[in-house]
Chains A and B, each alone.
Chain A
């Protein structure tokens, strides 16, 4: 994700040096310098929060909390890891504790229903519905599996970045992801049919 943001805002090195310069200015007492950090990271942090709660307003509130917490704790960034790694790890902590205080989904995984007879409907609308249900189902996973899934896809399937954000070994991350996928597949047994139909559709299209 950091790399993605960097491609939007400039080279990754530029972004890192901008972050480092802004952090130094904030630490020396220039509060306004924090605005640069907020502008650069607002998008990723709001999107990360969105994946945790799937509620736009709440996602913005959670991202705000994370940024304010980051401002308070800027001195604790040791510059050994990249600023983005530190910021995402802090945000993950904020989001986790926020959702622990006020859980967003009360449905158990077993109650998230898959659409009926999905293989018979090959349209895009159906796939979109299935996608939304699957994303909601992610929120019903037990926390130890939920967060690896959220962060793995947030980091665009970069296992290393996701593991660093959770401060967890990559092996553990892989194992938890595999278990989460297994739970989701059990809940959505028609997912493979959906893929097969999408494949057929793309072949016809070609």
Chain B
């Protein structure tokens, strides 16, 4: 390491400038160049990364777009009719059905809580850089 400022700053200079510009100079170790070149040669010799299989993905992607497009088209086609014929009065449900609905509510609540807990824990691990 070499010490000393590279610029000769007088005592009148801002002390922060004077001190921080006088930082020591490191000389890289003797094996530095060879270790960098070794890593470079390793990477150069490594096979190129496998390209993303766009050709294989395209049919599946096309199918998915078709299915969702068809779904959206059907929804748009039947939604106005469904709204027109919908009655907003509460349907009369038998007792066993309403009990099932209550249970479904609890299941939904549990799902939401599980989702929140997963989101919260993943946020925590991100912030603490555990993973």
Contacts and interface: CB of A to CB of B under 8 A. Distances in A.
B28 A194 contact: no
Interface string A30-72: 0110110011001100110011000010011001100110011
Given A195-B11, A202-B11, A156 B37 contact: no
Interface stretch (A16-24, A80-88, A107-115, A128-136): A128-136
A25 interface: no
Contacts of B6: 4, 156
B12 A68 contact: no
Contacts of A38: 32-33, 36-37
Contacts of B125: none
Given A34-B37, A35-B33, A63 B11 contact: no
A140 to B, nearest CB: 14
Interface string A171-201: 0000000000100110000011011001100
B18 A34 contact: no
B102 interface: no
Contacts of A195: 11-13, 15, 18
Nearest to B7: A156
A192 B15 CA distance: 7
Contacts of A135: 19-20, 23
B25 interface: yes
Interface residues of A, number: 43
B32 A68 contact: no
A134 B19 CA distance: 8
Given A38-B36, A184-B16, 17 more contacts: A35-B37, A42-B32, A56-B26, A63-B28, A63-B32, A68-B36, A68-B39, A131-B19, A149-B20, A153-B21, A153-B23, A156-B6, A156-B7, A191-B19, A195-B15, A195-B18, A198-B11
Interface in B1-19: 6-7, 11-19
B41 interface: yes
B101 interface: no
A92 interface: no
A42 to B, nearest CB: 5
13 contacts: A35-B33, A38-B32, A38-B33, A42-B33, A43-B25, A64-B39, A68-B36, A135-B23, A138-B20, A149-B20, A153-B17, A184-B16, A199-B11
